[in-house]
Amino acid sequence: MNEVFITKASTYLPNEPISNDEMENYLGMVNDTPSKARALILRNNQIKTRYYALDKNGKATHTNAEITANAIEGLLDENFTKDDIQLLSCGTTSADQIQPSHASMVHGQLNTKNSIEINTSMGLCNAGMNAFNYAFLSVKAGVKENAVCTGSERFSAWMTADKFDHEAENLKLLEEKPIIAFKRDFLRWMLSDGSGAFLLENKPRENQTSLRVEFIDFYSYAHEIEACMYSGCEKQEDGSLKSWADYPSDEWLKQSIFALKQDTKILDQYILKKGAQSLRASFDKHNLDPESIDHVLAHISSGYFKEGLKDEFANVGLDFPWEKWFYNLSEVGNIGAGSIYIAVEQLMNSGKLKKGEKVLLCVPESGRFAYSCALLTVV
């Protein structure tokens, strides 16, 4: 089995950073009414700026495939061109279309000279880690000498006001207050656009920082817990999901069936607890000493979870001091499947890493509560 190294990392964030006060200028106001939940949600999530692939008229400036391809372009140089890519593995929640696959569209956007292997990982925040794992295992097994993996999102196009206006109109007809449900409005103020990319190779680069991938572990709790974050369906009273395909087409707009939604009631109950349980399992599996970890990169959707996550880790014997934690949420926002890539890129290119240091990655996914973690060594 080969050793596998992240030899280069790249980030692409579309357009200029957008402040909290500017968000409705881009996303618009549902029913021409300012959101009553926005201020509370932003105060809790502690995000100050984020990026949208939109202009101020709500018109798209980039597709997800374009955002992803732009991140990949940042990996290329005189030693590694797009035509040297042997495997392209892409993870996202927010593909531009149901079919073809996201990786297929990114490959088309790159317009390489060669036919290459592609892989698409769909899901939520762990889609990026799944794409990373597929690339990692391919290089480790010697099937490929190199692979490019990505995590990306273009959530803004899902969050514009026009996607919810039909629901508001339907509420008016029912003589209800034309305010969309909190489970839909909540995520309009939580999510951001962008992409990160890794180049994986079976040898480190000389005279520059590389990160050896020690392991990537995954844990799902779908056998225990109902869905928490979902789209293309509606949650029923018994916790099951009713698919968009089982609704009449006129209900798709009336109920915003394709909107991304979150059941915040069970989010608080499980998201941190199960994350700590998962990480403890990995430390036991690999016989790791918490003292050996030098940097902790934990993806969180909101600053609201920051203190609680540290406490839950400490409760299972993983008490990492604050100086080891690295967060960029307040500056770039929650980019879902792309967030951990962007954090790694920023740390990797910060000049702070020293040879031999250990970097821990932790990614939660509230879809139906799945978690991943990885360990990297600076070489």
Q: Note down pLDDT in tens along the chain; length 379 residues.
A: 999 999 999 999 999 999 999 999 999 998 888 888 899 999 999 999 999 999 999 999 999 999 999 999 999 999 999 999 999 999 999 999 999 999 999 999 999 999 999 999 999 999 999 999 999 999 999 999 999 999 999 999 999 988 887 776 666 665 666 556 666 778 899 999 999 999 999 999 998 999 999 999 999 999 999 999 999 999 999 999 999 999 999 999 888 899 899 998 899 999 999 999 999 999 999 999 999 999 999 999 999 999 999 999 999 999 999 999 999 999 999 999 999 999 999 999 999 999 999 999 999 999 999 999 999 999 9
Helix (H, G, I), strand (E, B) or coil at 275: helix
**Structure tokens that stand for 370 in this block:** 């799945």
What's residue 179's pLDDT? 54
Distances from the Cα of 351 to the Cα of 294, 343, 346, 374, angstroms: 14, 14, 9, 21
Question: In the prediction, which pLDDT does 181 show?
Answer: 61
For β-strands 358-365 and 295-298, DSSP reports them as parallel
Type of residue found at 94: S
Domain made up of 213-220+262-378: CATH architecture: 3-Layer(aba) Sandwich (3.40)
* Domains in the chain: boundaries: 5-204, 213-220+262-378
Six-digit token string for 286: 């690999």
Q: Return the closest-CA partner of residue 318 out of 348, 342, 274, 288.
A: 288
| Per-residue pLDDT at 344 | 98
* pTM of the predicted model as reported, rounded to 2 decimal places: 0.95
Task: Using CA atoms of 52, 55, 58, 59 in order, give the dihedral in degrees to the nearest 10.
Answer: -110
pLDDT of residue 182: 67
- Domain 5-204: give its CATH architecture: 3-Layer(aba) Sandwich (3.40)
What's the CA dihedral at 181, 186, 189, 192 to 10 degrees? Answer: -110
Q: 214-217: long-range contacts (C-beta < 8 A, 24 or more apart)?
A: 214/286, 214/374, 214/375, 214/376, 214/377, 215/282, 215/286, 215/374, 215/375, 216/129, 216/132, 216/133, 216/136, 216/372, 216/373, 216/374, 217/278, 217/281, 217/282, 217/285, 217/372, 217/373, 217/374
Report which residue type is found at 371. Y
DSSP summary character for residue 349: T
Q: Which residues contact 240 (CB under 8 A, 6 or more apart)?
A: 226
Distance (Å) of CA 334 to CA 58, 83, 282: 19, 32, 25
What pLDDT is recorded for position 167? 72
- Residue 336's closest CA among 108, 73, 64? 64
β-pairing verdict for 370-378 and 211-220: antiparallel
Angle subtended by helix axes 64-73 and 102-110, to nearest 10: 50
pLDDT of the residue at 264:
87
- Are 234 and 242 in contact, with CB atoms under 8 Å apart? yes
CA distance 189 to 112: 37
Q: What is the pLDDT of residue 186?
A: 83
**Is the preceding peptide bond at 34 cis, omega within 30 degrees of 0?**
no
Query: Same CATH topology for 5-204 and 213-220+262-378?
Result: yes
